[in-house]
């Protein structure tokens, strides 16, 4: 009888750990670590916040950016992003342009094994992000 109870408890505990659905939270800020195949310039901070209202925004490293987005399951796409017009050093401006271009090509999202958000284009490497702890 004790073996049966132990087996039942083990089964219930294993079921509780299995395949919990991963969700992309809204109104949470994520910090960009990589854009495609390239890491960010040291000490530059790019962020994405996905609002529950369908608006996305954040820092593009130099300027603030904003866009609408649509999400359906694992599919996600961003409407052409706009940004403020401040000038920064050329390398930072190039990274910002690359980020906004990569954002426009995003088609789906997922999380890696280590809980890193990945925004995938149709081809190539994803934008990789970490959640910002508030």
Q: What CATH number is attached to the domain comprising 81?
A: 2.40.128.270
Q: Is residue 95 part of a domain?
A: yes
> Which DSSP state fits 52?
T
Residue 4, classed as helix, strand or coil, is helix
The dihedrals phi and psi of 132, each to the nearest 5 degrees, come to: -90, 125
The number of distinct structural domains making up the chain is 1
By residue count, the chain amounts to 134
Q: Is residue 65 part of a domain?
A: yes
Q: Around 128, how many Cα atoms within 13 Å sit in the side-chain half-sphere? A: 14
Q: Is residue 1 part of a domain?
A: no
Q: What is the pLDDT along the chain (134 residues), one digit of tens a residue?
A: 555 444 444 444 444 444 555 688 999 999 999 999 999 999 899 999 999 999 999 999 999 999 999 999 999 999 989 999 999 999 999 999 999 999 999 999 999 999 999 999 999 999 999 999 86
For the entire predicted model, the pTM comes to 0.82
**pLDDT for the residue numbered 133:** 83
Q: Is residue 81 part of a domain?
A: yes
| Cα gap 19→130, rounded to integer Å | 21
């Amino acid at each position: 009888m004790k073996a049966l109870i132990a087996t039942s408890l083990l089964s219930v505990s294993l079921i509780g750990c299995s395949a919990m659905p991963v969700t992309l939270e809204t109104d949470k800020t994520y910090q960009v670590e990589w854009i495609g195949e390239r890491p960010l310039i040291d000490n530059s901070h790019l962020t994405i916040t996905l609002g529950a209202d369908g608006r996305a925004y954040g820092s593009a490293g130099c300027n603030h950016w904003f866009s609408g987005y649509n999400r359906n399951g694992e599919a996600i796409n961003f409407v052409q992003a706009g940004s403020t017009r401040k000038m920064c050093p050329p390398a930072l401006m190039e990274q910002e342009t690359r980020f906004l271009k990569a954002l426009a090509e995003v088609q789906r999202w997922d999380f890696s094994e280590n809980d890193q958000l990945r925004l995938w284009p149709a081809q190539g490497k994803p934008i990789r992000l970490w959640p910002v702890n508030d």
